[in-house]
Amino acid sequence: MELHVLGFWGTYPGPGEATTGFLLQTDEGRQVLLDCGSGVLAQLFKITSVHALDAVIVTHHHFDHVADLGVLQYALLLARLRGERTRPLDIYMPHGPAELERAFQNEPLANLQRLDASSRLEIAGLQASFARTEHPVECLAVRLEGDGKVFAFSADSALSPVLEQVAQGADLFVCEASMYDGQEEEARQAGHVTARQAGEVAKLAGAKRLAITHYPHYGDLNTLQRQASEGFGRPVERLHTLQRLMV
């Protein structure tokens, strides 16, 4: 599997960049979009097209993870009208805003499917499982297994045993790292983890590699990376737009 980084910012995108979004490509060439934050589609279209997607997974309905879902629906509509896509696109998400759900339900090529923590599915040939995280809205961490590899994504969460469970033995664990040392209580209240906590969770889980995401727009991101690495006990990946990571 290969992971393409479409967006990594929390709250809002940096100039020319995007908030949370990843494209996972399997060895068989199937493509899964994981979250669809602000600016994600502009990055996605540098790699692939909406009519080539096999599935979309949405972890939760905060704007920095779903801001581009509405325009994804428009892109799907135009792909259908132009004859570029004829097969339905599987879109997996927790219960979301009624207007958004109606938009997808009114699009013949959108196959909207509900997700919750008990969901165990095959998505684009991958075995997918989920766990509810500690966050102000319903939010699901994601574990995808296939091609002999395990990819795990924390989504957004305060420190919780769930994160260690999802990341157990993962070949690549992408974990949010929204805050710095000294902000542990602020992070807990907001439903996030610090960079050091992300590293410590990955170490406890026995994850082989850790990449941090969901960066704050303040402070020194080199410090964020260093604190995560100290918690993990090994080097940690700091993400960049359109970076490619092998799982």
End-to-end CA distance of the chain: 5
Confidence of residue 48 (pLDDT cuts 50, 70, 90): very high
pLDDT in tens, 97-146: 999 999 899 999 999 999 999 999 999 999 999 999 999 999 999 999 99
The DSSP secondary-structure symbol of 52 reads: G
CB burial of 26-39 (b: ≥16 within 10 Å; e: otherwise) equals beeebbbbbbbbbb
Confidence of residue 199 (pLDDT cuts 50, 70, 90): very high
Confidence of residue 14 (pLDDT cuts 50, 70, 90): very high
CA atoms of 58 and 116, how far apart (whole Å): 11
The predicted pLDDT at position 184 comes to: 98
Q: Helix, strand or coil for residue 196?
A: helix
pLDDT in tens, 204-214: 999 999 999 99
Return the bridge partners of 5, or none: 22
The predicted pLDDT at position 41 comes to: 98
Residue range 14-21: mean pLDDT, rounded: 98
Place of tokens 């008990």: 118
pLDDT in tens, 182-195: 999 999 999 999 99
Specify burial of residue 105 (Cβ count, 10 A radius: 0-12, 13-18, 19+): exposed
Residue range 21-27: mean pLDDT, rounded: 98
Compute φ and ψ for 79, nearest 5 degrees: -60, -35
CB of 239 within 8 A of CB of 213?
Answer: yes
Residue range 47-72: mean pLDDT, rounded: 97
CB of 123 within 8 A of CB of 140?
Answer: no
**H or E stretch covering 98:** helix 98-105
Percentage of residues in the chain having pLDDT higher than 70? 100
Nearest partner of 22 among 138, 152, 147, judged by Cα: 152
Question: Where do the domains of the chain lie, and which CATH numbers do they carry?
Answer: 2-246 (3.60.15.10)
The DSSP secondary-structure symbol of 187 reads: H
pLDDT in tens, 151-167: 999 999 999 999 999 99
